[in-house]
Amino acid sequence: MTQAPRKIAFIGAGNMTQSIVGGMVSNGYPGHAIHVSNPSAAKLEQLQARWQVQTSHDNAEVANVAEVIVLAVKPQLMAEVCQDLQARVPHLQDKTIVTIAAGIRLEKYADYLGDSARVVRVMPNTPSLVGQGMSGLLANAHVSSADRDFITSIFQQVGDTMWLTDEDQLDIFTAIAGSGPAYFFEFMAGLQQAAVTLGFDAAEARRMVEQTALGAATMAIDSELELSELRQQVTSKGGSTAKAIEVYQQSQLEQISAEAVLAAVRRNQEMAKLF
Ligand SMILES: NC(=O)c1ccc[n+]([C@@H]2O[C@H](COP(=O)([O-])OP(=O)(O)OC[C@H]3O[C@@H](n4cnc5c(N)ncnc54)[C@H](OP(=O)(O)O)[C@@H]3O)[C@@H](O)[C@H]2O)c1
């Protein structure tokens, strides 16, 4: 006999919930096992119509029926949302809480939900919205390995997942994968501008850059070679690529990346103190 699907509740029906729920149902997870709550109606109606999920305006109602609760509200609302669940959901300690809010450390959820709460912190990034995310996951000591596997399977619906060992690692992960799309967009915009300066129109320049970025990322994913080796393979000695790489190296691109990531890590550490 096949096991019944685990009931999962999403608190907040914003962009991230829409992507994850869409990924889950389109990959076979039954909509009727997914419960979503949100204050306003339009997003719930859309989710209900598209994926046949169950919806409510009451967070406690959806949390009550679920074994796993995904908190997908803005960080500044998290304390209030958790305290309301803590007050109105019996047996909350027996449920697994997944939070995707940036900047709030696991220990804070012990304040919000009690010391024995089972909490997993997940840091998805924006490409999760198009199914190409990179999510970092961190669990507290109360989370079982079966729950870890289930939560991995949820976030695999919107990209790749990586389990981390502590908050320090999560701060670094956030500086690379969370902020990373912005670094790539910045670099891509620079290349687009260079092509425009040399006579291409903006749309043509963008197409060249986008497809080249996608191609390079796909080659990196498909290859066992180190990234530096892949770079060398497209850099013949004395050729034009070598000239461009020489300019990047003179400008110490690697050093600049190290400094940029460190600045983001420090900022993540500072922001964690705000909650
Ligand atoms: N988007 C990303 O790429 C990304 C990446 C990493 C982490 N995150 C984190 O993921 C969380 C959700 O992000 P998002 O992009 O999905 O945000 P979003 O689109 O703004 O969605 C937040 C949702 O929460 C709802 N909400 C507000 N108050 C609520 C309450 N008291 N109870 C239940 N729901 C409530 C809002 O409803 P109304 O619109 O009706 O007010 C809205 O639908 C945030 O903490 C964010 O930091 C997002």
The angle that helices 240-250 and 253-272 make with each other, rounded to 10 degrees, is: 50
Gyration radius of the chain's alpha carbons: 22
* Count of C-beta atoms within a 10 Å radius of residue 123: 25
* Superfamily (CATH H level) for 180-272: ProC C-terminal domain-like (1.10.3730.10)
From ligand 1's centre to the CA of 104, what distance in Å?
14
Query: Which pLDDT score, from 0 to 100, does residue 2 have?
Result: 62
pLDDT recorded at residue 77: 97
Which residue owns the Cα nearest ligand 1 atom 26? 12
DSSP bridge pairs for 56:
37
- Residue 202: CB atoms within 10 A of its CB come to 11
Residue 55 and residue 163 in contact, taking contact as beta carbons nearer than 8 Å? no
Name the residue of 37, 100, 268 to mutate for ligand 1: max ligand atoms within 8 A of Cβ: 100
Residue spans of the chain under pLDDT 50: 1
In the chain, beta strands by DSSP E = 8-11, 34-37, 54-56, 68-71, 96-99, 118-123, 133-139, 159-163
| Rounded Cα–Cα distance for residues 152 and 7 (Å) | 15
Does ligand 1 have an atom closer than 6 angstroms to the CB of 12? yes
pLDDT at 268: 93
Write down the pLDDT at residue 275.
82
Do residues 156 and 135 make contact, with C-beta atoms less than 8 angstroms apart? Answer: no
123 is in an annotated binding site: no
pLDDT digits (tens, 9 = 90+) for 68-118: 999 999 999 999 999 999 999 999 999 999 999 999 999 999 999 999 999
Ligand 1 centroid–CA 14 distance in Å is 5
pLDDT for 1 equals: 47
Query: Is position 272 annotated in a ligand binding site?
Result: no
Please give the CATH architecture assigned to the domain spanning 8-165: 3-Layer(aba) Sandwich (3.40)
Please report, for the chain, the start and end positions of each structural domain, with discontinuous segments joined by +: 8-165, 180-272
Please write down the long-range contacts of 111-116, taking CB distance under 8 Å and 24 or more positions apart: 112/78, 112/79, 112/82, 112/83, 112/86, 113/82, 113/85, 113/86, 114/86, 116/142
